[in-house]
Amino acid sequence: MKRKDKLPTTSNPWKLQSSKMVFENPWLSLHEDEVINPGGGLSHYGKISFKNLAIGIIPLDENNNTWLVGQYRYVPDCYSWEIPMGGGPLNIDPLDSAKRELKEETGLIATEWQELMRLHTSNSVTDERGLIYVARGLTQGETEFEETEDLLIQKLPLDEAIERVLSGEITDAISVAGLLKLKHLL
């Protein structure tokens, strides 16, 4: 094991030499960066930049019930149960995006909103930032699914959702982080 005699710096030790866009679509861009790494060597880094914030919402009623959304996720090729979530454009108030996503996916409208946490979704390859809200004071309305959404909605006790995290049934990182933090705070 290599030992360093000094503490790591909190300033950026990476030196960008060049950056080339490799791919772009309406949701993300992929850059290949040539950098000098902290040890002084030349490295190539792939960086995914998202054009939206990741927005997660944990709706919570007066009886500590919550709602999960189930859908087949194309990239990991599996069915996934998650908290309601979606993308929020960077130039729009994240709370407005959270309200829109909650209504779209569950039909719920909330009168009370609390920011629960901020996180980086996978900071070794992406600059994506996420925000998770708790929504209370809920009224049920109609869903407004997007064309790409084929969702199942399930209302269940928060403790059951936590058990699904602990058993490994819920694996989405934003859902896991948000549900565990909320449980810790209650």
Which residues does the annotation mark as catalytic? 149
Token pair in block for residue 31: 């850059």
- Side chain identity at 32, as an amino acid letter? E
- Side chain identity at 105, as an amino acid letter? E
Q: What is the SS3 string spanning 96-156?
A: HHHHHHHHHHHCEEEEEEEEEEEEECCCCCECCEEEEEEEEEEEECCCCCCCCCCCEEEEE
Cβ(81)–Cβ(165) below 8 Å: no
CB atoms within 10 A of CB 176: 18
Residues 6+ apart with CB under 8 A from 19: 31, 32, 33, 34
What strands, in cross-sheet order, belong to the sheet with 42-50? 15-24, 28-36, 42-50
**End-to-end C-alpha distance for the chain, whole angstroms:** 41
